[in-house]
Chain A
Amino acid sequence: MSVLEQLAQSVIEGKINEAVSMTQQALAEEIDAVTIIQDGLAAGMNEVGRRFKAGEYFLPEVMVSAKSMSKGVELLEPYLAGDENSNTVGTFMIGTVKGDVHDIGKNILIMMFQGAGFKVIDLGVDVPPEKFVQAAVEQKPDIVGLCALLSTTMPMQAKTIAAFEQASCRDQFKIMVGGAPVSQDWSDKITADGYAADAIEAVDMAKELLGIA
């Protein structure tokens, strides 16, 4: 197995220390940081996502794998400086809407988007519509994701979309919605650009929206 395959494997198996040492070894072999991420860390995380969707992995496995990946990414950060944007497929901004603090699903989404090569901006939980709009206008993501896990906070997805309209910048961003009670019907009703039931579908949908599928 090549060092990158081993690195991917250590992410899949959630071996944090091994992910760190393999990342170091890959650097020592003078593999460039972007390749280490793409063919090592992110490749591993994609497999983790697949296993999660297939019901083979559960939350603990996914979180420990994600931690392994992020430890590796941390080591690579100094080597990525400067060309951060040139290598991303797009920027994904995500937050859980106002009134809602569920973030486990959102955090899994973040890992998968990072794994797929997106730059991710995490606005956290309980995010009011104005904050989504302000952050989007300032940081210009390609896609804004609105997460809601409660039927009581789903209407806030609609309000957030309305806030983009009011600020006359709705057409500058693709808006995706998701979370347990959300459905395609709901997404259509509130005129979101896309809905996905899980993190893997979400990444596919995002690529489709950006025309890079």
Chain B
Amino acid sequence: MVKQMTSRERVQTALNHQEPDRVPLGMWMTLGAYKNFREYLGLTVKDQYPPGSTTWSMDVHVEPDVIEKLGLDVIRIGSSTPDGQGFKINENGFYVDEWSVPRKKVEYEGGYYMEDVNPPLKDATIADLEDYPWPDPTADGCWNGLEQKAKRLFTETDKALLAQFGRGGIYEQAKYLRGHEQILMDMILEPEFVHALFAKLCQVEMKFNEMGIKLIGKYLTQVRMSPEDLGNQDNLQISPKTFREMIKPYYTKSFGLASKLLKEQNPHAKLQFHSCGAIYAIVPDLIECGMEVSDPMQPIAKGVEPARLKQEFGDRLSWWGGIDVQRTLPLGTPEQVAAEVRTRIKEAAPGGGYILSSSHRCQPDIPSQNITTMYEAAKEYGQYPIKL
């Protein structure tokens, strides 16, 4: 029997590739799912919650009351928009985020998403990039109250704190500014433009991280870089070669700075990087850039089977995720959810290096019971030493 740990010790130990008392638990959710879930737990429900990750992503920071109630281990915090407000509404009725990307509400059964329309840099040239109204990472709005919040959570709870400061990233943000298909074609047709745009976005990402880490780095166990989706379901979006030529130099810079500043504040803290999908071929590159925690572990994307990842990179890399949101959680029975949790823990938890959560945000299609089952099963099967 391992002595019982606090949440913070548990996460820290796991991320140091040692076995804590049990597998640490994380949670991420969209607004709609979060409201349903709070109601299910019998907690008060507000109409709106401020955006967690990027302004448009519908992500929320799950609050401490839910985390306490379920016995989870990680609290997420982060920057706000430079004006502290979120979306502005423009003359065409679109919602405009801090990158001046217009978005519209797209409704589905269970909620809505905020989707980009009319990418503002669609026809831009390199010269246009200078005058573009980039978000200002030094604006007060980004940071108001964050230091007090982090300090309070650090002293009043024993949870691990995971922060994201960047508000869009490099490749990912380029998709919204330039258009999804256009930026892909630009990689071949207009590489100079792509480099100029990425260089600019890299500067912004670096400044966000610098500001945030200097402000609250000492309270954190993990810093999550701005999310970047490099993978599809069955392969990378771009070839490893294109990745290495067009993107990796910027990750090297931006992860490098964040990592250096973070370790100065807290030598044990880790750098977490989000990319969806089938990214197997570039995992070694991402590790080289400074990724220490890979988020998410997405079990049914091709080539990133958890057992394989663990076997090949388990000594150098930790993961967040693992419980499938594409099929098991929305469509499975509670028994199937528990069975998947068991399998995942067996594959990914030995030796530490694994924080269990859904493989992407929980959305409103996931029955609340499957969510609680996921965590109950994780506590049952996740006791170290793992004997499954």
Query: Which residues of chain B come closer than 8 Å to A100, judged between CB atoms?
Result: 106, 108
A58-B239, A60-B187, A152-B365 given; A99·B106 CB < 8 A:
yes
Query: Which residues of chain B come closer than 8 Å to A153, judged between CB atoms?
Result: 108
- Report the separation of the CA atoms of residues A104 and B108 in the bound assembly, to the nearest whole angstrom: 19
Cβ of B237 under 8 Å from chain A: yes
Interface size (B, Cβ < 8 Å)? 32
- Report the separation of the CA atoms of residues A198 and B233 in the bound assembly, to the nearest whole angstrom: 11
Inter-chain contact count A-B, CB under 8 Å? Answer: 75
Q: Do residues B180 and A104 form an inter-chain contact, with CB atoms below 8 A?
A: yes
Query: Which residues of chain A come closer than 8 Å to B364, judged between CB atoms?
Result: 152
Q: At the interface with chain B, which of A1-9, A61-69, A114-122, A169-177?
A: A61-69
Q: Do residues B108 and A60 form an inter-chain contact, with CB atoms below 8 A?
A: no
Cβ of A123 under 8 Å from chain B: no
Question: Chain A at the B interface: mostly helix, strand, loop or mixed?
Answer: loop
Cβ of A193 under 8 Å from chain B: no
Query: Which residues of chain B come closer than 8 Å to A155, judged between CB atoms?
Result: 109, 365
Q: How far is the CB of A123 from chain B (nearest CB, A)?
A: 15
Select from chain B the residue with minimum beta-carbon distance to A100: B108
Cβ of B184 under 8 Å from chain A: yes
Interface size (A, Cβ < 8 Å)? 28
Q: Which of B296-349 contact A (CB under 8 A)?
A: 325-327, 330-331
Select B109's contact among A59, A64, A152, A181, beta carbons within 8 Å. A152
Select from chain A the residue with minimum beta-carbon distance to B246: A60
Cβ of B181 under 8 Å from chain A: yes
- Report the separation of the CA atoms of residues A55 and B115 in the bound assembly, to the nearest whole angstrom: 29
Q: Which of A52-78 contact B (CB under 8 A)?
A: 55, 58-61, 63-64, 67
Q: Which of B338-375 contact A (CB under 8 A)?
A: 363-365
Query: Which residues of chain A come closer than 8 Å to B106, judged between CB atoms?
Result: 99-101, 126
In the A-B complex, the 9 residue pairs with the closest CB atoms: A99-B108, A181-B326, A180-B233, A152-B365, A151-B330, A60-B187, A60-B184, A58-B239, A101-B115
Q: Can you give 5 contacting A-B residue pairs, CB < 8 Å?
A: A60-B242, A152-B108, A152-B365, A181-B326, A198-B234
